[in-house]
Structure 1
Amino acid sequence: MATIIFAVNFSVWTLYSVIGIELKSSLNLSSTEFGLLLSAPILTGAILRLPVGVLCELYSTKALLIWQMLILLPALYFLPNVESYLAYVLVGLILGISGVSFTIGIRYISDWFDSSEQGTAMGVFGAGNAGAALSLILVPYIRDIWGLDYIGLFYSVMVLCACILFAVIAPKTPLYLSAKTPKNISFYLKPLKHPKVWRFGLYYYFVFGSFLALILWLPQYYVNAYKLSFNQAMILTLLFVISSSMARAAGGWFADKFGARNINWGVFWICIVCLFFLSYPPTTMTIHGVEKDVELNIELNVWLFTLLLLIIGLAQGFGRASVFKLINDYYPQQMGSVGGMVAMLGALGGCTLPVLFGAAVDVVGVHSACFMLLYGVLAVCMLLMHFAIKRERYNQRVINAQQHNFLEMD
């Protein structure tokens, strides 16, 4: 039930990625303005994850999920009445509340499984990212049959039905846990100062933040860069979303089996190789030969482009699951607060990257500038993580030496 609820909420969170193509044309938006529009729901979904994560430690997570969905209903119902760019941004900020469903849901399900099963359980729950596929499938269907004005009404009914089903069917927190007295708030906030938590957030910034940014950006990228139709762009983006979301469940099992850190580094190396090729813009070179000039065209066709994207999506799915397995390994009693912090940092990637994508395209003037930017982001993340882990291992060796008197004079 938690996975279904997360999927419904995720479809609302990414709704602008689909209707945004129509809005960009009707409102005559630049790439930067379009990026800001896409980022509006992601912003509130990101910054609210930390405070909501702390609330999850103090109150019923089932009740919090129900209230979170009810708050969405007015904004969805009145969406057809919105006309100006600013109004769409403001409505998007309200719809962004759907993004906190991940933090609440992770905390809700973590009470039901042993440590050896946490990676798999959270991986299955995280497969609710496939909720973005609902938008990619439903919106073109609704648009073609009834028109865009019915999308808000349809989504409000869908969220209300999901909310009622969850309230009736989903079990409450296990009694032996709900009877426990919550610890002092400082107990849940203390880990947020640990460098390790921020490093986990850096991991998640790429594996989730860039995944979310690509969901928002890919439909219009296919339309503009490859001149595909609206429905064709939705289908190819749908492949990316579904494959990456389903891989998250498998990634949780692999993290339980082979170690979360090993999975993370494998993910980053695969992604940086694929991004290198995606970053290269269509190029025509003239080679001056002995007798004649030779024209050389270098360009990724739409199928090779999609294949590289699918590889990145699969890798990111594994990475998202392994990050939360790491969190549960280190902070099993503070999954709400620490998980909320990491989820917030990751979702900020989904908020900031579309804006940076748009700015990069406007400045550089090529469609693949967004992948150049993403390549740079991943390279910086990998360097920072390498030195952070190196420093952590050095400190552990020093502590070990002190405990065995290796650093003390006789």
Structure 2
Amino acid sequence: DRTSPKTAGLFGQIVVIAALFVAWVNGVHSYEQALLLGLFLGMAGASFAVALPLASQWYPPQHQGKAMGIAGAGNSGTVLAALFAPVLATMFGWSNVFGLALIPLVLTLIIFASVAKNAPNRPAPKSFADYMKALGDRDSWWFMFFYSVTFGGFLGLASTLPGYFHDQYAFDPVKAGYYTAACVFAGSMLRPLGGALADRIGGIRSLLMMYTLAAACLFVVGFNLPSSTAALALFVVAMLSLGAGNGAVFQLVPQRFSKEIGVMTGLVGMAGGIGGFMLTAGLGAVKQATGDYQMGLWLFASLGALAWFGLYGVKRRWRTTWGSAAMTAARV
């Protein structure tokens, strides 16, 4: 908001590239060094609060779902990590994966610097007080909760599934990576379609459908299915639903907070990241305490059901206030 999305995007990419370069040259030799590297790589997650305002500010309300969905499909980068990182680590050593990752990152930086443009009607910079004011609006908390379930669930499962397939079905890291990549790819590719569906039928209706589907799949897979194929199919459908749900959430956010889109993208994106961290930690803690993932998956399914009821509870108010036909051309 203060420096422009493009400037912030350039800064974030340079930080990530520099961190990977140092890790590649010097190596990572301790747990503390791994945490320090993770701190700098967290800037990659912050790029979410750059890409979505940059995309949103170029498009009218009725196309926000598609625009934000396409921008958010950058999550598919995690597919490449899950798919190629284990193989590259086996071939070249895991520390050299940092160096290999620099190739697409530098190319992306060059393309972004050459092509990306800030919108001409970009809102005025926001102060810290504006962020605090946004947090005082109850709708901002609802959006943060809804996104912590959809994107947090997507992120948490992407982080947990390699260990799940290894522990549950004795897969080696490469095969577990392939299965995880299939799930993450499904969720990433459905995000733009989820945004487009929300544009067509309304973000609330779309999100209610996605919560239902994701919760049902996670509940069933929690029974520790003997077939890895059946578990994979259910996880794929769950990730499809969560990915489409991500698109639906960000079809709604610009309708409610059109003038505060940068602020809200940062806050909602932060909630999604925290949700992913909490889900990953929670599933791991439950696995350690009980010996399997059953209770953790059922708790996650229950969280999806809770989000469904929360959204259903605010549906009428949203559709008769900022989401009414008199207020926006988009379907809410």
Other-structure match for 1:106: 52
1:59 partnered with 2:3: yes
Q: By how many angstroms is 1:183 displaced?
A: 6.5
Secondary structure of 2:47's match? helix
Q: Is the CA contact (8 Å cut-off) linking 1:213 and 1:351 kept in structure 2?
A: yes
Q: Is the CA contact (8 Å cut-off) linking 2:215 and 2:305 kept in structure 1?
A: yes
1:204 partnered with 2:130: no
Given residue 216 of structure 1, which amino acid in structure 2 is its aligned partner? Answer: S
1:89 partnered with 2:35: yes
Given residue 74 of structure 1, which amino acid in structure 2 is its aligned partner? Answer: A
- Given candidates 292, 303, 327, the residue that maps to 2:253 is 327
Other-structure match for 1:380: 306
Superposed, which structure 2 residues align to 1:20-59 within 5 Å? 57-59=1-3
Secondary structure of 1:78's match? helix
Other-structure match for 1:273: 216
- Given candidates 190, 210, 216, the residue that maps to 2:159 is 216
Task: Please identify the structure whose Cα radius of gyration is greater.
Answer: 1
Change in 2 beyond 3 A, CA 1:174/1:336: closer
Distance 1:235 1:181 in 2: 45
Alignment deviations for residues 321-364 of structure 1 (CA, whole Å, 9 cap, x no partner): 11011111111111100121111111111111111111101111
Superposed, which structure 2 residues align to 1:310-389 within 5 Å? 310-389=236-315
Q: Is the CA contact (8 Å cut-off) linking 1:192 and 1:338 kept in structure 2?
A: no
Other-structure match for 1:260: 203
Given residue 122 of structure 1, which amino acid in structure 2 is its aligned partner? Answer: M
Change in 2 beyond 3 A, CA 1:159/1:257: same
Distance 1:259 1:387 in 2: 16
Q: Is the CA contact (8 Å cut-off) linking 1:360 and 1:373 kept in structure 2?
A: no
Larger deviation: 61-70 or 339-348? 339-348
Q: By how many angstroms is 1:66 displaced?
A: 0.4
Q: By how many angstroms is 1:73 displaced?
A: 2.3
Distance 2:272 2:220 in 1: 24
Q: By how many angstroms is 1:205 displaced?
A: 0.9
Given residue 369 of structure 1, which amino acid in structure 2 is its aligned partner? Answer: M
Change in 2 beyond 3 A, CA 1:367/1:337: same
Given residue 311 of structure 1, which amino acid in structure 2 is its aligned partner? Answer: V
1:237 partnered with 2:211: no
Q: By how many angstroms is 1:155 displaced?
A: 1.8
Distance 2:298 2:126 in 1: 46
Larger deviation: 146-155 or 204-213? 146-155
Q: Is the CA contact (8 Å cut-off) linking 1:357 and 1:373 kept in structure 2?
A: no
Q: By how many angstroms is 1:74 displaced?
A: 3.0
Root mean square deviation, CA, Å: 2.2
1:161 partnered with 2:107: yes
Q: By how many angstroms is 1:300 displaced?
A: 3.6
1:190 partnered with 2:116: no
Distance 2:90 2:49 in 1: 35
Q: Is the CA contact (8 Å cut-off) linking 2:212 and 2:304 kept in structure 1?
A: no
Other-structure match for 1:290: none
- Given candidates 90, 98, 115, the residue that maps to 1:144 is 90
Q: Is the CA contact (8 Å cut-off) linking 1:216 and 1:354 kept in structure 2?
A: yes
Larger deviation: 253-262 or 86-95? 86-95
Q: TM-score, normalised by structure 1?
A: 0.73
Q: Is the CA contact (8 Å cut-off) linking 1:201 and 1:346 kept in structure 2?
A: yes
Larger deviation: 237-246 or 181-190? 181-190
Change in 2 beyond 3 A, CA 1:188/1:365: closer
Q: Is the CA contact (8 Å cut-off) linking 2:204 and 2:315 kept in structure 1?
A: no
Q: By how many angstroms is 1:90 displaced?
A: 2.2
Q: Is the CA contact (8 Å cut-off) linking 1:123 and 1:251 kept in structure 2?
A: yes
Distance 1:181 1:124 in 2: 25
Given residue 38 of structure 2, which amino acid in structure 1 is its aligned partner? Answer: G
Q: By how many angstroms is 1:189 displaced?
A: 4.7
Q: TM-score, normalised by structure 2?
A: 0.89
Identity across matched positions, percent? 27
Residue ranges of structure 1 left out of the alignment (5+ in a row): 1-56, 282-298, 397-410
1:123 partnered with 2:69: yes
1:307 partnered with 2:233: yes
Secondary structure of 1:113's match? coil
Given residue 265 of structure 2, which amino acid in structure 1 is its aligned partner? Answer: G
Q: By how many angstroms is 1:86 displaced?
A: 2.5
Distance 2:125 2:188 in 1: 33
Distance 2:33 2:258 in 1: 41
Secondary structure of 1:248's match? helix
Q: By how many angstroms is 1:258 displaced?
A: 0.5
Alignment deviations for residues 166-195 of structure 1 (CA, whole Å, 9 cap, x no partner): 11222x2244x25x7546665565332111
Distance 1:109 1:203 in 2: 21
Q: Is the CA contact (8 Å cut-off) linking 2:208 and 2:311 kept in structure 1?
A: no
Q: By how many angstroms is 1:387 displaced?
A: 4.4
